[in-house]
């Protein structure tokens, strides 16, 4: 992304922007799932992972800054999520807010998530508000916008949730002598199909994970320092049905609470991982 990304202004009562942010919050689970698995990759797969936060100054600061914006929507990177709050590093310079600065660690509630996106093997996933803004641009403006980010956002009106490969599909290939001059329309994803599909890493790692627990059963009780998450907590929050199933088959404690007081079921529920919730209830 460029050091000085362009600033876009939007009316606070823009119904289309409101709906775009709502869709982003409803699908945030897919962002977190990808980021959770990224942490287990030996070779990084994500080129970018960011969340757009809705930020505002305290009332007393706004009162002393009457000409400032009431709300600014800025991007966070180095994202963490504990089931209640999203935390990350602010990568934008505020336009008029006084209590935030670039490079600051920011913690927000889920309702303050305005968008999310990640880039995996060159494919941009998410970016609902970005897509809306691009749909309102001319072709040349979209090209300039994408250049500022350093990524091709694809066709306006199409917002993938996961990389094409996650669904067992292949990206459309251009054929013929003049194929490089022809633009292949981007195919919208079936969101129901996305929701029904297990993450490829969850499936592929099941056997090795089960073997690891057989050899080292004490791993089930170990919790991380940051959140007090056991494997069951982590996998429930990431929506991994295979991982949760393996943990339960080896006797994982479903009642154990993380540092924030949430059980594995609570963590699955906060992102509406329904299949994981059902498996935990059946344990």
Whether the Cβ atoms of residue 125 and residue 34 lie closer than 8 Å to each other: yes
Supply the pTM of this predicted model.
0.91
Q: According to the model, what pLDDT value does residue 1 have? A: 46
Q: According to the model, what pLDDT value does residue 13 have? A: 78
Question: What is the DSSP pairing of strand 113-120 with strand 72-81?
Answer: unpaired
Q: In what order do the strands lie in the sheet with 105-109?
A: 105-109, 85-90, 72-81, 46-55, 113-120, 123-126
**Could you tell me which residues are beta bridge partners of residue 77?**
89
Q: According to the model, what pLDDT value does residue 171 have? A: 54
Whole-angstrom distance, CA of residue 89 vs CA of residue 101: 10
Whole-angstrom distance, CA of residue 108 vs CA of residue 90: 11
Q: According to the model, what pLDDT value does residue 11 have? A: 58
Return the closest-CA partner of residue 131 out of 1, 11, 13, 20: 20
The alpha-helical segments, DSSP class H, found in 116-273 are 128-135, 139-149, 191-196, 200-204, 206-215, 231-237, 241-249, 264-270
The torsion defined by the Cα of 115, 118, 119 and 123, in degrees rounded to 10, comes to: -60
Helix (H, G, I), strand (E, B) or coil at 91: coil
Whether the Cβ atoms of residue 200 and residue 232 lie closer than 8 Å to each other: no
- Only one residue has tokens 């809705």, namely 54
Whether the Cβ atoms of residue 183 and residue 195 lie closer than 8 Å to each other: no
Q: Measured between alpha carbons, how far is residue 165 from residues 39, 123, 230 in Å?
A: 19, 10, 29
Per-residue pLDDT of the chain (283 residues; tens, 9 = 90+): 444 444 455 556 799 999 999 999 999 999 999 999 999 999 999 999 999 999 999 999 999 998 888 999 999 999 999 999 999 999 999 999 999 999 999 999 999 999 999 999 899 999 999 999 999 999 999 999 999 999 999 999 999 999 999 988 665 454 444 444 456 788 899 999 999 999 999 999 999 999 999 999 999 999 999 999 999 999 999 999 999 999 999 999 999 999 999 999 999 999 999 999 999 999 9
């Amino acid at each position: 992304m460029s050091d000085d990304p362009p600033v876009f202004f939007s009316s606070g009562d823009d119904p289309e922007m409101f709906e775009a942010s709502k869709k982003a919050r409803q699908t945030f689970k897919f962002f977190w799932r990808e980021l959770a698995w990224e942490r287990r990759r030996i070779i990084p797969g994500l080129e970018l992972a960011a969340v757009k936060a809705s930020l505002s100054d305290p009332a007393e600061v706004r009162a002393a800054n009457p000409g400032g914006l009431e709300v600014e929507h800025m991007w966070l990177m180095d994202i963490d999520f504990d089931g209640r709050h999203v935390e990350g590093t602010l990568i934008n310079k505020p336009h008029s807010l006084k209590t935030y600065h670039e490079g600051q660690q920011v913690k927000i509630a889920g309702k303050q998530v305005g968008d999310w996106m990640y880039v995996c093997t060159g494919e941009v996933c998410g970016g609902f508000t970005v897509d809306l803004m691009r749909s309102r641009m001319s072709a040349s403006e979209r090209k300039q916008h994408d250049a500022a980010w350093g990524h091709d956002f694809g066709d306006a009106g199409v917002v993938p949730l996961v990389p094409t490969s996650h669904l067992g599909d292949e990206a459309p290939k251009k054929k013929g002598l003049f194929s490089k001059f022809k633009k292949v329309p981007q195919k919208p994803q079936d969101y129901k199909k996305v929701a029904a599909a297990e993450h490829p890493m969850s499936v592929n790692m099941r056997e090795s994970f089960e073997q690891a627990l057989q050899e080292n059963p004490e791993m089930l009780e170990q919790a991380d320092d940051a959140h007090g998450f056991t494997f069951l907590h982590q996998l429930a929050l990431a929506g991994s049905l295979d991982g949760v199933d393996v943990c339960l088959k080896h006797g994982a404690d479903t009642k154990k609470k993380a540092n924030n007081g949430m059980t594995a079921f609570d963590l699955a529920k906060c992102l509406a991982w329904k299949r994981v919730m059902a498996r935990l209830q059946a344990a």
